[in-house]
Structure 1
Amino acid sequence: MDLSWMAWTAPTATFFIVIALLILSMGIWEYFVPGGSPRMGILRFETTRGDRLFISLLGSAFICLFWLGIVGLSLWWALAVCVAYALCVFRWV
């Protein structure tokens, strides 16, 4: 298979590998502890672990886009903001 049309750099591959590992680990967690531990958070509707993962990934994408468009500095700082955001989502949403 020829993938030369896509810029498969190390950061791009790492990004997709991390996303795949997150989804895989959530699947394994759900297998061993079914139910997703739904709870009512600050959004005022029930969310499960999978919902919170989706919200954190979607929010992180917007954080990175904002960072690239407005700040323009290294994305390592955006990664730190995204990790903090994801921790807050899993704690309070």
Structure 2
Amino acid sequence: MAWSFPTAMFFLTIFLLLALMAVWEYARPGGAPRVGILRFETTRGDRLFVSLLGSAFIHLAWLGLVGANLWWALALSVIYAVAVFRYV
């Protein structure tokens, strides 16, 4: 993997998401587990993991089916992450 600007932005974004989750947990501790549409308990961290994993699959599918222009895949990933945090 080449260390380019997009690669650095990718890892910086994941680091910032983890830092944001830490600040959120500090500000509002607990984050009680809840049962969503998947019918099992998830916490904020679980939902972040599911949204990151799903976003990776969205981007891989986009690369395989459409091509290298990933801006629409990014938009789909953001919509997916909002849906995961809202309904899962």
The 2-side partners of 1:8 and 1:73 are apart by: 18
Residues 58-89 of structure 1, C-alpha deviations (whole Å, 9 max, x = no match): 00000000000111151001000000000100
Match of 2:35 in 1: 40
The amino acid that maps onto 1:12 is T
The 1-side partners of 2:68 and 2:80 are apart by: 18
TM-score by length of 2: 0.94
- Percent identity for Structure 1 against Structure 2: 69
RMSD over aligned CA atoms reads: 1.1
Instruction: Give the count of matched residue pairs.
Output: 88
Correspondent of 1:89 among 67, 73, 84:
84
The 2-side partners of 1:8 and 1:36 are apart by: 36
The 2-side partners of 1:20 and 1:87 are apart by: 18
Residues 21-49 of structure 1, C-alpha deviations (whole Å, 9 max, x = no match): 00011011111211123211001011111
The 2-side partners of 1:54 and 1:11 are apart by: 21
TM-score by length of 1: 0.89
